[in-house]
Chains A and B, each alone.
Chain A
């Protein structure tokens, strides 16, 4: 059921293996294929509170596999406007579809210009190759 390794071109990436899909002044956040593969099957998603303010490069929640806990790093600053309840209820959704059904939160951006500092898909792939 695990998804195949892809890094969609339309997303922006953070070096901590998080992605953002930017749509106007909102963004959807999640973790990359590499992140879910490294962790293994997820069994817990600890989301932020709806309405919480989260700051670029800081932890906004956690995901856990059987063996490991990982902080979620937000690529962009903003206010949490929606949490993916499907992932709260079935965290393995992230492994099955990390860029689709397995998104984690949606935020309203407080500083859309921050997006310029993020990696595009090619740069992120390069980062993985160099690691």
Chain B
């Protein structure tokens, strides 16, 4: 064990090293409202918290179990709808459950659905599994409009989260109270999902992902492992959905649909499926992008799509993968050899991005704004969207950026090769 090194040293130090990340996460989660006081910031933070649970639960499938699901929002949505129904029943006066525990209702409800759907869909893996999950997702999303008494039809179902019974002194009238509730459940879910990766089940899920043929030979039932993993992942998705219901007090059929499923897939993948903390990064970045970019530009979905495609093409391990690749370089104190290369590549990359951005914004202005002839603004410059100069500049920027980016990437690759050689020598 790692702790052996500290046997004679400071025990507090070893504890800090072991649990430092968790203590840090808790301090950040509960300390942020002290810095972010605006209601906009708080609702953003609440959304980030929910997204983190949802993305981590999705990674239990994709990252840890190797199951690519296109219907994970089913459990998120069902958890949310169950929660809002439970809240309405409690408000009816017949069920005294404190609000703090209500997300669990969503979670365990989703767990039940997860056991059933998981047992059905995990008999096969790979593309077949992906297709079944897509089918179940579409099935539930389409039936949402057919069963209005549970899903509320077009206008959805709303509830009032200010219940009479609470465990704490919070009344949940204000966003900050709700944020603390979300932060609490987020930390609890994070800890449990991390601990699950350390259990035999978590290890078996990895084994099933990597070699589903060999796992049965050592005596484990692949289908059962997948089902349990799937059901547990639904549990956490349901908790996230429950928190969503408490946060917004309204749920519509959209929460359960394909767009939400695609969203969590992109979040998790952008963050990185190979490391436990990847989806957290993805959830933070994507939620932040969604909220802040959608205020700035109408084209944000396109930028989001471009980011996702870039990740799939060039960084299949996501942000977490990019970070972890640099860890050994950092430890070998060789970062200074890489930084000039990165700095050099960043300039044409920015030029390229600027060109693409101008082109996208011009087109959006022409096709979607109320008056395409009105002058448009970018970076404080006013110009006519139909002017050939603007088009010319953007195309020149794209070409120049692309050509120089290719060159700088080549030099960057060369310095990477050098570093790998040096590190290999160091290891020998």
Do A and B pair up? The answer is no
